[in-house]
């Protein structure tokens, strides 16, 4: 249980750092200019931190719940397969919706998919290397 709490907190912090690095860099800002008319001018940092921490706990918990059903024998493989699954449900579905509903460049969609894949793979590696269900 202690390991779950520590890894969840670490992944929540990592989630926030990766979101900042991947979504606030100059390339991302240029690609996401299409959202400028509806983007907030300031970010509610405390709410963002809480949301990322909750995501960390939820994703770590779902990883543990699915652990035995994930392909592979090693935690590393399980973590990577979990990452791909989460990427498909979280990032690919979001990108497809944006492509259908918003006049956004192909570059922005590809960047969203690639950045989301990097983020999910890093988190999946963290979970796969540190978490496994209690015996």
Domain boundaries, the chain: 2-130
**pTM for the whole structure:** 0.85
Per-chain mean pLDDT for the chain: 89
Alpha-carbon dihedral sign for residues 15, 16, 21, 24: positive
pLDDT digit string, tens, across residues 38-58: 676 777 778 888 999 999 999
Whole-number Å distance between alpha carbons of 89 and 66: 15
- 102-105 long-range contacts, Cβ below 8 Å, gap at least 24? 102/34, 102/35, 103/34, 104/34, 105/31, 105/34
Is the distance from CB of 91 to CB of 120 less than 8 angstroms? yes
Whole-number Å distance between alpha carbons of 19 and 44: 14
């Amino acid at each position: 249980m202690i390991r779950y709490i520590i890894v969840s907190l670490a992944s929540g912090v990592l989630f926030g750092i990766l979101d900042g690095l991947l979504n606030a860099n100059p390339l991302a800002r240029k690609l996401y200019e299409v959202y400028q008319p509806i983007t907030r001018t300031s970010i509610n940092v405390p709410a963002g931190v809480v949301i990322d921490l909750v995501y960390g706990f939820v994703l770590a918990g779902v990883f543990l719940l699915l652990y035995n059903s994930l392909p592979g024998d090693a935690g590393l493989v399980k973590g990577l397969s979990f990452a791909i699954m989460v990427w498909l449900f979280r990032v690919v579905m979001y990108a497809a919706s944006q492509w259908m509903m918003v006049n956004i460049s192909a570059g922005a969609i590809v960047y969203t998919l690639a950045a989301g894949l990097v983020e999910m793979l890093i988190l999946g590696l963290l979970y796969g290397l540190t978490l496994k269900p209690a015996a």
